Amino acid sequence: MTLPALSAPAAQLDVADELLALLADTTTEARPDTQLEALTLAVAADLPVLLWGEPGIGKTAALTRLAEALDLPLTTVIASVHEPSDFSGLPVVGDDPAEQGVPMAPPDWAVRLVRAGRGLLFLDELSTAPPAVQAALLRLVLERRVGALRLPPAVRIVAAANPRASAADGWELSAPLANRFVHLQWTHDHEVVVRGLGGTWPRATLPRLDPGRLPEAVGFARRAVCGLLSARPGLVHRLPNSETRRGGAWPSPRSWDMILRLIAFATAAGSSRDVLSLLVRGTVGDGPGLELLAAVDRMDLPDPESLLADPAHAELPARGDLRQAVLDGVVEAVRNRPDRERWDAAWTLLVRALDTGAPDLIVVPASTLASLRQQDWDVPPQIEGLAGVVTLSRQADRVRDRVEAAGKAGR
């Protein structure tokens, strides 16, 4: 059977369309992806997200796949090609302006979102929007108002921007607009790109919230945020000095309220610390964010009094920094209420720490605990097992000091 020649231009375009359809036919797979999980958790928490990344990194493609995975209609608005009135509303004169006023008519894309009742609003190229447009976006991002319309609660807002250096006629984000977003640095993963070009991209899924953990998650989030801000009141509001840093994440009462929501959602979803770290640092900045993460870590530490009550069965953290904090807390508890039984229990804990972790972590606690001994307290046999470690560590410190001194003298 002889096939007819495809010589007509229309027929050739049909073949081209078929080839394009095959190229676009991709699938998704469940794959660990920290930045994608952070994005979906912030979307679930109904917080505006701003993806920062170089051109061509895949921000738009990620949002398209996110909308498909969540079954949300995607509405893309290029902020830089719109006028301020496209977000604040166009004035429409009615029959009697003096009596009825002048209503602000919303644009067509906002009307479509309201009619659909749900959707994903994608504000692309945000860093190319001039200051006047950024000012008009303030009510949209925070209050979800466009002219006289309020967007439905089921509409989520995600934006994307290129750094000013790589943006076409780029502007720094204004501080009020930047402080309304969770900022995520969007980078490419080599394996994800290779698998995606091969036809399989990671699947975006909303976090699975445990209904039984919701009250616990809210209480944990409030204790974490309020505990840090009570101890560090200077972090409640800290406007950066430079224009560039004001266009990113920085702490304010608004952003701390966003953090509280994110911690609650991450706790209820059982999200990893890496995911929480991206979200926290992307909302209040690296410095305050790292302080909060450290405070959250300390909240999960075992109570020193519980450890002293049953040192033989104590469970110590596996992470070195957390284990060091626990041992320091135990020694401090003995210092605050010293007695022979508690002193002996602390030595038992140090021996347990030596048997299950790095020896260098016990050097400082052991030295401090030894200094708390009173004259009528016998030296417990456990100290003999620790003495060699402490002595060896001190010798190593002295050798290091001599090497450093010799190096400075030879310069």
For every residue of 206-247, which 3-state class applies, written as one string? CCCCCHHHHHHHHHHHHHHHHHHHHHCHHHCCCCCCCHHHHC
Pick 164 or 362 by higher pLDDT.
362
Tell whether the model's pLDDT for residue 392 goes beyond 50: no
Nearest alpha-carbon partner for 216 in 265, 256, 280, 273: 265
Mean local confidence (pLDDT), 84-103: 67
**The residue type at 120:** L
Tell whether the model's pLDDT for residue 169 goes beyond 70: no
Tokens 């002219």 -> residue: 147
Alpha-carbon gap, residue 34 to 275, rounded angstroms: 6
pLDDT of 388 reads 56
What is the band of 403 on the pLDDT scale with cuts at 50, 70, 90?
Answer: very low
Alpha-carbon gap, residue 165 to 172, rounded angstroms: 10
Q: Which residues, at least 6 apart from 394, have a Cβ–Cβ distance to it below 8 Å?
A: 363
Tokens 């719109």 -> residue: 82
What is the band of 255 on the pLDDT scale with cuts at 50, 70, 90?
Answer: very high
Q: What are phi and psi of 183, to 5 degrees?
A: -95, 120
Query: Strand locations in 242-302, DSSP E?
Result: none
Residue 105's alpha-carbon distances to 22, 146, 214, 276, in angstroms, are: 42, 8, 40, 40
Nearest alpha-carbon partner for 319 in 334, 350, 297: 297
What is the band of 399 on the pLDDT scale with cuts at 50, 70, 90?
Answer: very low
Pick 131 or 280 by higher pLDDT.
280
Task: List own/partner pairs for 402-408 with CB under 8 A and 24 or more apart.
Answer: none
Query: How many H-runs (helices) and E-runs (strands) does the chain carry?
Result: 19, 11
Residue 344 token pair: 């002996």
**pLDDT tens sequence across 205-216:** 888 999 999 999
What is the band of 19 on the pLDDT scale with cuts at 50, 70, 90?
Answer: very high
Tell whether the model's pLDDT for residue 170 goes beyond 60: yes
The three-state secondary structure class of 280 is helix
Tokens 């930047």 -> residue: 178
Domain ranges of the chain: 31-92+102-202, 211-299, 304-409
The torsion defined by the Cα of 278, 280, 286 and 287, in degrees rounded to 10, comes to: -150
The 10 Å Cβ neighbour count of residue 176 is: 16
- β-strand partners of 146: 149
Tell whether the model's pLDDT for residue 154 goes beyond 80: yes
Residue 98's alpha-carbon distances to 85, 101, 146, in angstroms, are: 22, 6, 23
- Least confident interval from 106-115, 222-231, 325-334, 397-406: 397-406
- Helix extents (H) in 357-381: 363-371
Mean local confidence (pLDDT), 185-195: 86
pLDDT of 103 reads 67
Distance from chain centroid for Cα 291: 13
**pLDDT tens sequence across 46-65:** 999 999 988 888 888 888 88
Alpha-carbon gap, residue 347 to 350, rounded angstroms: 5
Q: What is the mean pLDDT of the chain?
A: 83
pTM of the model: 0.76
CB 127 within 8 A of CB 159: no
CATH 3.40.50.970 fits 31-92+102-202, yes or no: no
Mean local confidence (pLDDT), 380-389: 63
Alpha-carbon gap, residue 19 to 318, rounded angstroms: 53
CB 147 within 8 A of CB 88: yes
CB 331 within 8 A of CB 366: no
Alpha-carbon gap, residue 18 to 56, rounded angstroms: 25
Measure the CA angle with vertex 98, ends 96 and 103; round to 5°: 70
Alpha-carbon gap, residue 68 to 118, rounded angstroms: 13
What is the band of 14 on the pLDDT scale with cuts at 50, 70, 90?
Answer: confident
pLDDT of 410 reads 59
Q: What are phi and psi of 273, to 5 degrees?
A: -65, -30
Taking each helix axis as running N to C, give the angle between helix 34-44 and helix 273-284, from 0 to 180 degrees, rounded to the nearest 10.
60
